[in-house]
DNA sequence: CGCCAGGACTACT
DNA sequence: AGTAGTCATGGC
């Protein structure tokens, strides 16, 4: 089946900037691939593969353009539900902007981030692996790593627009080797073929490969990710921290992107610097304290506030100012 | 060559 | 409870 449909601007509240949302480096999933005026990616709808192509002109209130294609029959409404969720179109940005406007320190972020929405994961497990891989990594390298993992272990689906891969299951990644061969016993020629090996190291995830394997095993055997969905935020936070490779920042990313806990406030190095400057007079404050400030001060908007502060700091050049000076002239 | 990337973990006081 | 060292890998 192949269908075209639109999402009208009156079906969601506030502005929407598709390109900014996809390109803002949110680590829930790799950036969708650009194809002409469309962005495209394979998503699973009711366990059926579906290629989604989506386009939108953010400067007008024109409708969102969607083309969906699948070897199976899928109801339009189900596809639409998934898209609404992934691009944060169920979130009321008008209310968010009311909230941000009420704090002079947050108000300036609105103009820089107009239409920016949370980019939610396709599945909780994907957000777990994506977030683990993003830790102490560059966005660029992280994107490449996740794409390699999908290529090597995901199910392959071919469309006229290209070949796409689903995200592998916990069971699959639980059995993925860190090294397919012992490098010490390989001939120099064979070592050159390493990029094509079916192991995690060849995906350029480095030392995180152990975390990915162990976490997948735990998700397969003892940790029920769906159970966490119904917990209150703090219990969910404690539970997700049990996974190896998941610390406070990665954990909050999973809760935010994977489960949709709006209260989650992921504190990375940049948020730490920004919040320090805005709310602690530039003083060095431990991350847990940053996190509690975010949760208490921003409440259900903490996740969006974090997103807007981060993006604002990047776009406004504040990031550069906040970097510790290497040498002063 | 050195430094850093949206940190987490371990081994120390 | 707080703090330094270490961890792959690629880009600059």
- Domain assignment present for A329: no
Domain stops at, among A257, A281, A302: A257
Closest alpha carbon to A130 in A158, A168, A90:
A168
Q: Are residues A155 and A241 in the same domain?
A: yes
- Domain assignment present for A96: no
* Whole-number Å distance between alpha carbons of A237 and A259: 11
The answer to whether some atom of strand C lies closer than 7 Å to the beta carbon of A201 is yes
Whether residue A318 is predicted with pLDDT greater than 90 in this model: the reply is no
C-beta of residue A97 within 8 angstroms of C-beta of residue A14: yes
For position A169, what pLDDT does the model report? 98
Residue A329: which pLDDT band, with cuts at 50, 70 and 90? very low
Residue A317: which pLDDT band, with cuts at 50, 70 and 90? confident
- Domain assignment present for A102: no
Q: What is the pLDDT of residues A15-24, one digit of tens each?
A: 999 999 999 9
- Domain assignment present for A224: yes
A296 lies in which domain range? Answer: 269-320
Whether residue A326 is predicted with pLDDT greater than 80 in this model: the reply is no
Q: Are residues A215 and A285 in the same domain?
A: no
| Nucleotide with smallest C1' distance to residue A137 CA | B5
Q: What is the pLDDT of residues A273-287, one digit of tens each?
A: 999 999 999 898 999
Q: Are residues A137 and A249 in the same domain?
A: yes
Please state the domain count of chain A. Answer: 3
Whether residue A38 is predicted with pLDDT greater than 80 in this model: the reply is yes
* Whole-number Å distance between alpha carbons of A201 and A187: 18
The answer to whether some atom of strand C lies closer than 7 Å to the beta carbon of A214 is no
Q: Residue A312: which CATH number?
A: 1.10.1670.10
The answer to whether some atom of strand B lies closer than 7 Å to the beta carbon of A139 is yes
- Domain assignment present for A109: no
* Whole-number Å distance between alpha carbons of A161 and A196: 24
Q: In DSSP terms, which residues pair with A38 in a beta bridge?
A: A35
Q: Are residues A28 and A146 in the same domain?
A: no
| Rounded distance in angstroms from the CA atom of residue A88 to the C1' atom of nucleotide B2 | 41
């Amino acid at each position: 089946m192949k269908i075209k449909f639109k999402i009208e601007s009156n079906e969601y509240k506030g502005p929407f900037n598709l390109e900014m949302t996809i390109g803002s480096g949110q680590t829930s999933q790799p950036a969708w691939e650009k194809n002409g005026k469309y962005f495209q990616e394979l998503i699973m709808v009711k366990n059926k593969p579906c290629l989604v192509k989506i386009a939108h002109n953010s400067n007008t209130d024109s409708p969102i353009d969607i083309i969906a294609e699948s070897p199976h029959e899928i109801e339009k409404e189900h596809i639409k539900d998934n898209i609404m969720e992934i691009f944060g179109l169920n979130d009321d940005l008008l209310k968010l902007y009311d909230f941000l406007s009420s704090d002079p320190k947050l108000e300036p972020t609105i103009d820089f981030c107009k239409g920016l929405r949370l980019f939610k994961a396709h599945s909780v497990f994907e957000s777990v692996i994506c977030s683990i891989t993003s830790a102490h990594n560059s966005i660029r390298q992280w994107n490449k790593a996740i794409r390699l993992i999908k290529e090597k272990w995901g199910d392959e689906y071919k469309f006229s627009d290209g070949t796409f891969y689903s995200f592998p299951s916990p069971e699959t990644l639980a059995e993925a080797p860190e090294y397919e061969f012992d490098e010490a016993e390989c001939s120099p020629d064979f070592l050159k073929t390493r990029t094509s090996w079916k192991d995690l190291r060849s995906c350029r995830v480095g030392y995180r490969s152990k975390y990915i394997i162990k976490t997948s095993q735990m998700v397969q055997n003892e940790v029920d990710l769906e159970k966490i969905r119904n917990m209150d935020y703090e219990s969910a936070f404690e539970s997700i921290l049990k996974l190896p490779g998941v610390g406070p920042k990665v954990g909050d990313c999973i809760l935010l992107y994977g489960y949709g806990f709006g209260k989650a406030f992921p504190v990375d190095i940049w948020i730490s610097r920004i919040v320090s400057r805005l709310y602690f007079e530039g003083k060095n404050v431990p991350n847990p304290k940053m996190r509690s400030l975010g949760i208490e001060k921003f409440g259900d908007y903490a996740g969006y506030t974090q997103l807007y502060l981060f993006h604002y700091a990047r776009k406004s050049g504040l990031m550069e100012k906040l970097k510790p000076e290497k040498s002063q002239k």
